[in-house]
Structure 1
Amino acid sequence: MPAADLLTVGNLGESGLLARILPRLQGASALLGPGDDAALIAAPGGKFVITVDTLVENQDFRLRWPSGFESSGFDVGWKSAAQNLSDVNAMGAVATSAVISLTLPHATPVSWVEDLAEGFSAAVRELGATSCAIGGGDLGRGSEVSITAAVTGNLATDHPVLRSGAKPGDVVAVCGSLGVAAAGLALLDVPISHLEWSKDEQALVVGQRRPAPPLAAGPAAAGAGATAMMDLSDGLLKDGRRMATASGVVIDFDSRTLKVDAQRLCSAAARLRTDPMEWVLGGGEDHGLLTTFPGALELPEGFRAVGVVKEPVRGGLASGVLLDGKLPESAQGFDHFEG
């Protein structure tokens, strides 16, 4: 058997790998945890939400970036947990369980996979998903690393908050950061050594590697009477357009409310000669919340107003987004199948 630091998944085999990673997948206690053909999860309300998302090597992350930075298994595990927990949060629900499917090349170091399991568990714990049990999953062999996680959640109120409920007169609000993950991605993805990053730029890269969705905010918004809500995964304008289309309304964002977000990105924007507002408007993967509330309602803690919901324009915009009353010129957002 090779030395521990040279051990690969091919050397160890499926049973040996499971024996090493299952103890590292720690969440809330499950009725029946890993080991059988399926997990057993309680659903006290008789209904629950479920989401699934995949991270694929060279599509959603790189093991080694053009900047020379290397992704740890911990980072990939954390990000997988965070993006799925955020989707449950955006429905106004609390995560209750997770199952994970890993596809790994034969030569993947076992230490990297152990690190991934620890990263997933750390995100569940540190982001505050204390009710989320990790119920096991599946292992497979492939030509590249991919991780798929499915997460279930129990609703905090009688009904989920959908993206289709925005009404004219509502206030549009966000909770969480805007543009940080996109700025971090841009730094990772250019051939400028990561050793040159400033402290501010390093913090932006952490935002890309280990996003921190505000998990208490989704149930709080649902309880406060939010009319529509969704995860900000593909960019403010793109996700705003999705919400507006689903609701049959126009969402008008106010750029003045977004200047504080752009200011945080100035160091990276200056280095890369980019307008930081492009990241604020079009950057995804921050996994904050885009929410609408009735106009007379006081916004819950952590939310800030960034626009208003308007009636469709007769003979004009039937649904969609505006920026300061005009059609945006750019910042289209992320699409898995573009490029």
Structure 2
Amino acid sequence: MTRPRPLVPRGDPADSVRVVGEFGVIARVLAHAGTSRAAEVGPGDDAAVLRTTDGRVVATVDVLVEGRHFRRDWSSAEDIGHKAAAANLADVAAMGGTATALLVGLACPPTTPTSWLEGVAAGLAEECAPLGAAVVGGDLVAAATDSASVVLSVTALGDLGGRAPVLRSGARPGDVVAVAGRLGWAACGLAVLRRGFTSPLAVVSAHRRPVPPYAAGPAAAEAGATSMCDVSDGLLADLGHVATASRVLIDLDRAALVRTFLEPAGPLQQVASALGADPLAWVLTGGEDHALVATFRPTAVLPPGWSVIGSVRPGGKRTGVLVGGEPAADVVRAVGAEGAGHVHFG
């Protein structure tokens, strides 16, 4: 494994936000924004105007705080832009929608180099471009005088294209549970970075720039998905939300999880062996890969890219997630994970 080189920006003070000024920075950032197919009025006025095909708008927001969600010595500005966009675009996909635009609010120290902010803007635009979306507005403010951290708030808007939204509350007994995308890679990459290394590059890159399966969300909605969720905090944690909202038990097939995410052996096993860890812990509890998990009726034809990993059982007074019939908490302890997933105020 190789140790990381610091990526903290060291721009010329003459290029700082304080010197260039709010509107100068905004002009530079907007030069990287790209174009949204849905925008009738883009950046430059008091608000953007977007076209929508069916009269409804999907809306979601995430806040990323430096030191908790990203580190500038681990990730480039472009990486952080990609990650901030992906967290929100995946939420739109999890409703069965397609993203149309982003609104971005950013608080940063006045000494922040404008070149770093341009890098974030470029990452946001690159992540949005394949979907035809773009940043269409936002706000830039100075962080508190006693703060050296960046706070990035991203709101994503999306279009359902005439489809019904897929909620967390629709899972029914007899449904199958399926996943699109990969699990455990971002958590594995985080474990590598925390130990001061940057290889294997595949998992470190997965932490820096998630690769959500955006098209899988609308495809699942078309295929009749009964519930769906973005896996941002961990498979067990996020399926727990589905189980609670739907008042059911969700039983994951351990063999299917291993077959789907750990065969053939790859970087996760390589890192787990080096660290004395169980790679299944990352699959079950690792967040930020932004895979999609959904339930379908057993007769449904699953779209390409979806793999069955479990089933839904009646809940009665008991709801939650099982793995091979065992309570998730017992499995979490057995694989050596710290908990069922990310805890925001832990």
TM-score by length of 1: 0.91
Contact conserved, 1:90 with 1:161, CA < 8 A, in 2? yes
Which residue does 1:323 correspond to in 2?
323
- In the other structure, the counterpart of 1:137 is 138
User: Cα deviations across residues 148-193 of structure 1 (Å, max 9, x unaligned)?
Assistant: 1111111134310001000000000000001001001111112x34
* Structure 1 residue aligned with 2:60: 51
Q: Shift of the alpha carbon at 1:28?
A: 2.0
Q: Does 1:23 align with 2:31?
A: yes
Aligned to 2:138, the other structure's residue is in SS state strand
Letter in 1 for 2:289: D
Aligned length: 319
1:277-304 superposed Cα distances (whole Å, 9 cap, x missing partner): 1100000011010100001112111000
What is the identity, as a one-letter code, of the residue corresponding to 2:253? Answer: D
Give the match's secondary structure for 2:49.
coil
C-alpha contact 1:5 1:111 (8 A) present in aligned 2: no
Q: 1:301 maps to which residue?
A: 304
Match of 1:258 in 2: 257
How far, CA to CA, are the matches of 2:179 and 2:290 in structure 1? 11
Provide the aligned C-alpha RMSD in A. 1.5
Which of 171, 177, 187 is matched with 1:172 structurally? Answer: 177
Correspondence for 1:35 among 44, 63, 69: 44
Residue in structure 2 matching 1:110, options 114, 139, 146:
114
Distance in 2 of aligned mates of 1:4 and 1:178:
36
Number of the residue aligned with 1:336: 344
Instruction: Letter of the 1:147 partner, please give it.
Output: L
Aligned-pair CA distance for 1:320: 0.5
Looking at structure 1, the residues matched to 135 and 123 of structure 2 have their Cα atoms a distance apart, in angstroms, of 13
Corresponding residue to 1:310 among 295, 308, 313 = 313
Q: Which whole-Å CA distance do the structure 2 matches of 1:268 and 1:4 have between them? A: 35
Partner of 1:230: 229
136-145 or 165-174, which deviates more? 136-145
Aligned residue among 14, 24, 30 for 2:22: 14
* Structure 2 alignment gaps of length 5 or more: 1-9, 333-338
Listed one character per residue, the Cα deviations across residues 239-291 of structure 1 (whole Å, up to 9, x for unaligned) are 11110010000000001111142343111112222111110000001101010
The CA deviation at 1:46 is 1.5
Shift of 1:13: 1.1
Q: Give the conservation status (yes or no) of the 8 Å contact 1:156–1:222.
A: no
Provide runs of 4+ in structure 1 moved above 3 Å: 3-6
Distance 1:323 1:193 in 2: 32
The 3-state SS of whatever aligns with 1:307 is: strand
Structure 1 stretch 150-159 or stretch 228-237: which is displaced more?
Answer: 150-159
TM-score normalised over the length of structure 2: 0.89
Aligned residues with identical type, % of pairs: 46
State the Cα distance separating 1:36 from its structure 2 match. Answer: 1.1
Report if aligned partners of 1:170, 1:293 keep a CA contact under 8 Å in 2.
yes
Could you tell which deviates more after superposition, 31-40 or 173-182?
Answer: 31-40
**Structure 2: how far apart are the matches of 1:237 and 1:230?**
12
